[in-house]
Chain A
Amino acid sequence: MSKQWTDKRPMSPHLSAWKWHPTMLSSILNRATGIVLYFAVLAICVGLAFMAAGPEGFEKAKSVIYTPFGAVLFFAFAGIIKYHLFNGVRHLFWDAGKGFDPKFSNTLSILIIVAAALAAAALTYLLIGSLK
């Protein structure tokens, strides 16, 4: 790929220009979670079509959904969507010109990651509790 790279613009993320810092991690995560969510919603649309066709597809999927692996999948999905949601709200504040202080930004980056993980853990805990 790099052989045929003709674009003169610098390629993101600018790892040669920036030292690692939490805001950089949050930016990379924002894009990564966004890509995963896009494919997740595409897959959800296919899932909807199976659901609309009848219970057979769901019966088969049950052997994945209601297992520990299903709980891990739910935790991952919940964490990814919560992260993108929380960080997206921060992006809206950035658009309004607020929250650019580097120190605060770095702290908030960590807090958002922790909050998303905690929210995902709480949701997974609630879900497992309600499955009984």
Chain B
Amino acid sequence: MNDLRTPLSKVRGHGAANEGVQHHIAARVSAIILALITPFFIWGLMKALPAGYEGFMAWIASPFGAFTWLVFITAGLYHGRLGMNEVILDYASSHGARTFFTLVNMLASAGFWLVGVLAILKIWLGA
């Protein structure tokens, strides 16, 4: 009687695991960004490879090239971390293993992202 919340509001956003809507939306948003940027990444790679080291440097140092790279590795590692988390939750056999591997996944994606971004900024801005 005193409960003013509708039944719908109580179940909204709660799947079988009581979570996941945010994960689902984040995976889709990063997927759309990747779908848009990947053709530019492949195109740039095709142009840079024949020109060797100088070709890569010129590509990453150009504003559009740096933008492509930053978006690609940021969205890519974010999307990859979400996907790998799903894999870990599917196959890690115990609570401890799940905790350990999801933590490793988070730290690896963030750490390697930082390495990549710093490298791009160094090449782009010549620091």
Contacts and interface: CB of A to CB of B under 8 A. Distances in A.
Dominant secondary structure of chain B at its interface with chain A: helix
Interface residues of A, number: 40
A55 to B, nearest CB: 5
Interface stretch (A15-23, A83-91, A103-111): A83-91
Nearest to A30: B83
A65 B48 CA distance: 12
B116 A58 contact: no
Contacts of A130: 46, 49-50
Which of A37, A42, A51 has most chain B Cβ within 10 Å?
A42
A5 B53 CA distance: 49
Contacts, number: 105
B42 interface: yes
A52 B53 CA distance: 10
B87 to A, nearest CB: 6
A128 to B, nearest CB: 10
Contacts of A41: 72-73, 76-77, 80, 112
A59 B53 contact: yes
Contact of A88 (B31, B46, B115): B31
Interface in A55-108: 55, 58-59, 62, 65, 74, 78, 81, 85, 88-89, 91-92, 95
Contact of A1 (B46, B80, B93): B93
B42 A81 contact: yes
Contacts of A131: 49-50
Given A45-B112, A58-B56, A51 B119 contact: yes
Nearest to B123: A52
Which of B28, B69, B81, B116 has most chain A Cβ within 10 Å?
B116
A62 B93 contact: no
Nearest to A61: B53
A11 B119 contact: no
A33 B11 CA distance: 34
A63 to B, nearest CB: 13
A49 B84 contact: no
A12 B86 CA distance: 11
Given A51-B57, A89-B35, 10 more contacts: A11-B91, A12-B90, A34-B83, A35-B83, A37-B80, A41-B112, A45-B73, A51-B56, A52-B122, A91-B31
